[in-house]
Amino acid sequence: MKTTIDIPEKELKDAMKFTKAKTKRDAVVQALEDFNRRKRMADLIKYTGTFKSMSTMEEIDALDLARTKKIFGE
């Protein structure tokens, strides 16, 4: 899509430097892609919960034993 916008020269030069883009267009496209990716990731973060630390081997063995007893009626 062709669009005409007024971008501050310093911001565009910085974007070109940070993205290592050879053209102004490439710098703008990369900046937009990065912005969109960051927003999508921020949206996903709200769906994350807390994570309990990993179980010990003893806890895992106890769960396996309980499951085995339940399956085989022991």
Q: Which residue type is seen at 43?
A: D
* C-alpha torsion sign, points 55, 57, 63, 64: positive
Q: Which residues of 57-70 are buried (b: 16+ CB within 10 A; e: fewer)?
A: eeeeeeeeeeeeee
With 0.75 as the threshold, say if the pTM is over it.
Answer: no
Mean pLDDT (the chain, rounded): 88
Q: What is the pLDDT of residue 71?
A: 81
For the chain, give the percent of residues with pLDDT over 70. Answer: 91
